[in-house]
């Protein structure tokens, strides 16, 4: 089964611990430091559209892009509840990003960059983002660090709600630098019986130096690293790093 096909309908419940409002506050801090107005925002790999809709509620014109039709189906339903200008949702991969015009900023949240497991494909994605940003536009994303992904190796993890049970195992390969998550998902149906599905996800361990080089090759300047939801540089041992980069004016 393709990634997120089974998970989409229950994704929000299983990720309820993510403080999206705090993430949106953090994004807006960077918008304010950008040095030019931010009105239109692309949410790349938007998933179920929580951040896309939250930013739209805060007054931005938003576009959500994701490759999963199942995730976008959930996002579209959320978008219909947004007051003001509803988000536009498009089904595209990062590498095939194709917008109707330019945007002032692009955000890519929750380690979605790690899911592009081939460096050449990630470079292509970065180039597409750069193409559709206005001159001086801001690109902001976060990654799981190599240390975090390596530390997950062999771990077994559990997430559950009243009607969903998700158990997953992480296996990290030092040779390929891929962390593979094998997921078993159990969903309780209306008749009380449980249905089982399986999914496999992979993340690549990119070093900050690799990502900086890829961003620069794609045409970005002023590449900066930040600690998890912090404006300062990352500290040793932090498991999530945020990157900001600007399209050359």
pLDDT at 8 over 90: no
Compute the CA torsion angle 247, 53, 115, 237 (nearest 10 deg). 80
Q: Domains along the chain?
A: 8-144+206-247 (3.40.50.150), 148-204 (2.20.25.110)
pLDDT at 110 over 50: yes
Give the DSSP H/E element, type plus range, for residue 30: helix 20-33
pLDDT band for 2, please (50, 70, 90 cuts).
Answer: very low
Residue whose entry in the numeric block shows the structure tokens 């690549």: 204
- Residue 5 pLDDT: 61
- Select from 64, 67, 91, 92 the least CA-distant residue to 78: 64
pTM of the model: 0.93
Residue with more model confidence, 12 or 231: 231
CB atoms within 10 A of CB 190: 6
Give the mean pLDDT of 74-103.
Answer: 95
Cα–Cα distance between 123 and 249 in angstroms, integer? 20
**What's the maximum distance between 2 C-alpha atoms anywhere in the chain?**
59
Q: Give the β-pairing of 164-173 and 178-188.
A: antiparallel
Burial tier of 175 (Cβ tally within 10 Å: 0-12, 13-18, 19+)? exposed
pLDDT tens for 161-180 read 888 888 999 999 999 999 99
């Amino acid at each position: 089964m393709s990634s997120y096909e089974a998970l989409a309908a229950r994704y929000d419940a299983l990720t309820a611990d993510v403080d999206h409002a705090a993430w949106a506050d953090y994004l807006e801090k960077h918008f304010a430091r950008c040095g030019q107005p931010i009105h239109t925002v692309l949410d790349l790999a938007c998933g179920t559209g929580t951040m896309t809709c939250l930013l739209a509620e805060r007054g931005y014109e938003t576009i959500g892009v994701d490759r999963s039709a199942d995730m976008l189906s959930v996002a579209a339903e959320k978008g219909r509840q947004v007051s003001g200008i509803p988000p536009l949702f498009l089904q595209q991969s990062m590498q095939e990003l194709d917008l109707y015009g330019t945007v002032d900023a692009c955000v890519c949240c929750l380690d979605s960059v790690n899911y592009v497991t081939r460096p050449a494909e990630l470079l292509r994605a970065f180039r597409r983002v750069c193409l559709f940003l206005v001159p001086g536009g801001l690109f902001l994303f976060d990654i799981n660090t190599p240390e975090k992904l390596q530390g997950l190796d062999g771990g077994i993890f559990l997430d559950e709600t009243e009607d969903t049970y998700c158990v997953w195992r992480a296996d990290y390969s030092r040779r390929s630098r891929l962390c593979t998550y094998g997921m078993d998902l159990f969903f309780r149906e209306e008749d009380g019986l449980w249905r089982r599905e399986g999914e496999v996800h992979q993340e690549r361990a990119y070093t900050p130096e690799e990502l900086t080089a890829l961003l620069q090759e794609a045409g970005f300047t002023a590449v900066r690293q930040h600690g998890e939801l912090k404006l300062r540089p990352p500290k040793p041992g932090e498991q999530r790093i945020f990157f900001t980069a600007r399209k050359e004016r």
